[in-house]
Amino acid sequence: MGATAGFLVRDLAIDSLASFWLYTAAAGALVGGTRLRPLLAAATVAVAALWLAVAFTPLAALATRGLVRRDPGGPADAVLVMASRLQRDGEPTAAAQSRLVHGLELLGHGLAPRLVVTEFAPPAPSSLALARKLMASFGLSREVVGMGPAGTTRTEAVLAAALCREKGWRRLLLVTSPAHSKRACAAVEREGVEVICSPAPETEYDLQTLERPMERFAAFRAMLHERLGLWLYERRGWLKPR
């Protein structure tokens, strides 16, 4: 029962931990011979019911409603591309490439004269180097500014506001993944910067249809992360009310 619950929770919340089920299997073995066994059985049944609901009903689509913010486009002082993980060799993950390409697309349309990217702390690969490489590949010649290091959306918002004050910028075109757009844009606005939210295309799942169970699981994981993030940021006063 512990292992089964672990496999299901991994699909619903923490797919990056492939061996998560081992920990829950060990926990199930420890409580299997105790009075907690009925509680373990009930928890496993509840998780299984949620798993089935996410996989085969519109639950994931309903849960992600309201997370995507998309503002009318307009000129800005810079395009801010929120950070996403890079591979160890410096190549972009799907999310990182989608964000960067969309940011460069906005530059190509003449909506801003420069690009701002967030750097993670070493030994993480350089987002700035990747941005310059892609910009050169697309034949664009624009200023590229790096800021950081940052590891959270809150830190990115504070750094972006500080950079805007230093440079005298008033408005940013903010690029991130769709499910992250509501929290990211509100966090930067909270620091006193005008924001135009322009989400990048989602590459892991189709938010409009969510036709396959694996897409629904991916959307549900993103929703869970963002709902918890919104709750935490609101409690700490890190979001601008809309």
Going from N- to C-terminal start, the domains of the chain cover: 2-56, 78-235
H or E segment at 106? helix 94-108
Residues of the chain whose pLDDT is less than 50? none
Four-residue CA torsion sign, 12, 16, 20, 21 = positive
pTM of model > 0.85: yes
pLDDT value of position 242 = 67
Distances (CA, A) of 226 to 17, 47, 75, 164: 19, 20, 28, 26
pLDDT value of position 148 = 87
Distances (CA, A) of 82 to 29, 40, 186, 221: 43, 40, 13, 19
pLDDT value of position 100 = 96
* Domain 78-235 grouped into CATH 3.40.50: yes
Q: Using an 8 Å Cβ cutoff, are 213 and 55 in contact?
A: yes
- Token pair 């089935």 is found at 52
User: Which of 233, 116, 120, 219 has its CA nearest to residue 183?
Assistant: 233
Distance CA 241, CA 201 (A): 25
For residue 209 the two structure tokens come to: 């249809």
pLDDT value of position 208 = 87
Distance CA 22, CA 40 (A): 15
